[in-house]
Amino acid sequence: MIGAKDIKTKICLGEIRSVDTVKDHFKRIKKTDPKVKAFLRLSEENALNQAEQIDNKDRKNAKCGLLEGVPIAIKDNIMVKGEGMTSASKYLEHYISTYDATVIEKLKEAGAIFIGRTNMDEFAMGGSTESSAYQKTANPWNIEYIPGGSSGGSAAAVSAGMVPFALGSDTGGSIRQPAGFCGIVGYKPSYGLISRYGVCALASSFDQVGTFSKTVVDSALLTSVIAGKDYRDPVCEPKEGIDYVRDIDNPNILKTLRVGIPKQLLDYKTDAEITKYFNDATNKLKLEGVEIIEIDIPAYRYVPALYKVIMCAEVSANIATFDGIRYGYRSPNGRSLNDEYAKSRAESLGYEVKKRILFGTYVLGAKNYHRCYHQAQKVRTLLINQITAAYKKCDFIFTPATLQMPVKFGDILPEECDLFLIAANLAGLPGITVPCSFTSSCMPMGVHFMGSRFSDAKLFQVANAFEKISEFDTDKYPIL
Amino acid sequence: MLKEELEVTAFMARLDIKEEEKEKYLADINVMFDYIEILQEPGVASLKPTTHVTELRNVWRDDVVKPRAKDTIDQMLNGSPAREGTFYKVQKVIEAQ
């Protein structure tokens, strides 16, 4: 199987047809997805029509889009005009999007082909994709295990070779954690680099759209297409038209690089094999000339608490929009307007979503606001200050992507498992998971680089350089 | 959190909770109260709260109506569980005295 960048080049050169590429991917999906269950819905007919239009272009005169004819999967919390978008919730079971998300507009302009919509935790609330109201997605490397989440469907689809790349969203590691569990690249941009217009909101001060792919270069390519200022997402900053692929092969990048490893890594129980392969990866970086520096960020210990308090508060505000009036599920049992709101929400939302709404409503309550939410925002400043100070000593912070391997369905991951990923959301920083090794259980583990704000281009260079020295076989796919 | 606090919070959140569900919610939410306690530890009185990480202040744009497809209103209303003409249909808001 070839990557997105090569597919696009071959289509533009007329060496392969988009229709054949799309058919190949659907063949793979039909073989593997009954076991993996990555997709909630497929759009084969539409995809083939789109591909045919691309193949019918006059190649000599037609402009070739950045993703001309390349298949892509979309997480089911991103709006595509005229299509359903459930966010894996019963509340949005029959919802039809009335407009395109900005990232979808950009993908259409670039010539990408939409293959289908991927499974996720309900409203992206979870880290295993088990809270989807529709189905459980399996880890393609061992279908008894979770793929991670919340973007578990996108991660599993790319990992199993059903699509060359996919979109996800990352509020607290929701791209980078499943990427680690599924042995692929997962990238979350700096806060404000990619528009969230048309994306179902979870916690707005953390949410970002990001990418999944087998290789770093394909994530860089996808980012080049979807990044940029958007007047409809006011936190989107003017970083327009950057080509993240052009300078990605920087042969000198590792020679002058300073990489920080937080000493707090030792405070948490880490899987023995993850520790071993992470140390091997650190030694490989050293051999390339990277200076490894120990950094001290004591506020890491507050990350799980900070995330839970602030995220739930923002969830309670964002999910308030689901009231059963303008769209979505409306209970037939409501006796008054308030009763109708309360029953519509109670009957259509899952337990995890309701628990977070309740906790969020509590921490925002007039009596509790100061001690809970306001205090958390101050501790968030403390964490950001300590991370900013650490970046005076190093260029990137390097950790395992997760501290534990994926668990079987129904088992609980320890909450510190993806603590070092969540720090990136709290501080608005870019982060990328790159696969590193296979453990003795034949499942992959990944490492994570976190950069300073808007260091995304350099982050891709570093991740790309690491991919080359890691010896991880990106051409290997799970046998399904 | 006590049962009465849960009931008030559920009303504030417009969530109907059944009597038999209350125990589980209370158990799970009370575990989350540890997070609030942990966050009281560090001395942060002098720090400003972070509401978002951008340097942006007010983001203004011109108040201009952008043209939309003619059927947009119809499509939006069609997504509603109940419509009447060009209105969303809802329960009676004001009760008779």
Question: ipTM, 2 decimals?
Answer: 0.94
Q: How many CB atoms lie within 10 A of CB A255?
A: 12
| Residue B97 pLDDT exceeds 60 | no
Q: Which residues numbered 2-61 in B keep a CB inside 8 Å of some CB on A? A: 5-6, 9-18, 25, 28-29, 32, 34-36, 38-42, 44-45, 47-54, 56, 59, 61
pLDDT at B91: 87
Q: How confident is the model at residue A297 (pLDDT cuts 50, 70, 90)?
A: very high
Q: How confident is the model at residue B21 (pLDDT cuts 50, 70, 90)?
A: very high
Name which of A304, A329, A337 is nearest B91 (Cβ-Cβ): A337
Residue extents of the structural domains in chain A: 4-250+401-470
| Residue A262 pLDDT exceeds 90 | yes
The pLDDT tens digits of the residues spanning A160-177 come to: 999 999 999 999 999 999
Pick A61 or A370 by higher pLDDT: A370
Pick A439 or B67 by higher pLDDT: A439
> How would CATH label the architecture of A4-250+401-470?
Alpha-Beta Complex (3.90)
| Ramachandran category for residue A69: left, alpha or beta (phi over 0 → left; psi -120 to 50 → alpha) | left
Distance between start and end Cα atoms, chain A: 15
| Residue A274 pLDDT exceeds 70 | yes
| Residue A240 pLDDT exceeds 80 | no
pLDDT at A445: 97
| Ramachandran category for residue A399: left, alpha or beta (phi over 0 → left; psi -120 to 50 → alpha) | beta
CB A164 within 8 A of CB A70: yes
**Whether A150 is catalytic:** yes
Q: Is A385 touching B (CB cutoff 8 A)?
A: yes
Q: For a pLDDT cut of 90, what percent of chain A falls above it?
A: 97
pLDDT at A68: 96
Q: How confident is the model at residue B96 (pLDDT cuts 50, 70, 90)?
A: low
| Residue A429 pLDDT exceeds 60 | yes
Residues in B closer than 8 angstroms to A380, CB to CB, are 49-50
Whether residues A342 and B50 touch (CB distance < 8 A) is answered with: no
CB A226 within 8 A of CB A106: yes
Pick A34 or B57 by higher pLDDT: A34
- What is the pLDDT averaged over residues B25-54? 96
- Residue A237 half-sphere exposure toward CB, CA atoms < 13 A: 15
| Residue A230 pLDDT exceeds 60 | yes
Residue extents of the structural domains in chain B: 3-38
Residues with Cβ within 8 Å of residue A421, at least 6 apart in sequence: A172, A173, A176, A177, A401, A402, A431, A433, A448
The pLDDT tens digits of the residues spanning A368-427 come to: 999 999 999 999 999 999 999 999 999 999 999 999 999 999 999 999 999 999 999 999
Among residues A181, A164, A76, A150, the alpha carbon closest in space to that of A113 is found at A164
Q: Give CA separation, A256 vs A84, A246, A288, in Å.
A: 48, 20, 10
- What is the pLDDT averaged over residues A441-465? 97
- What is the pLDDT averaged over residues A451-456? 96
Q: What DSSP character marks residue A54?
A: H
Q: Is B67 touching A (CB cutoff 8 A)?
A: no
CA–CA distance, A50 with A373 (Å, rounded to integer): 47
Checking DSSP bridges between strand A291-295 and strand A258-262, what pairing results, if any?
A: parallel
* Mean of pLDDT over chain A: 97
CA–CA distance, A206 with B64 (Å, rounded to integer): 29
Q: Is B83 touching A (CB cutoff 8 A)?
A: no
| Residue A103 pLDDT exceeds 80 | yes
pLDDT at A63: 86
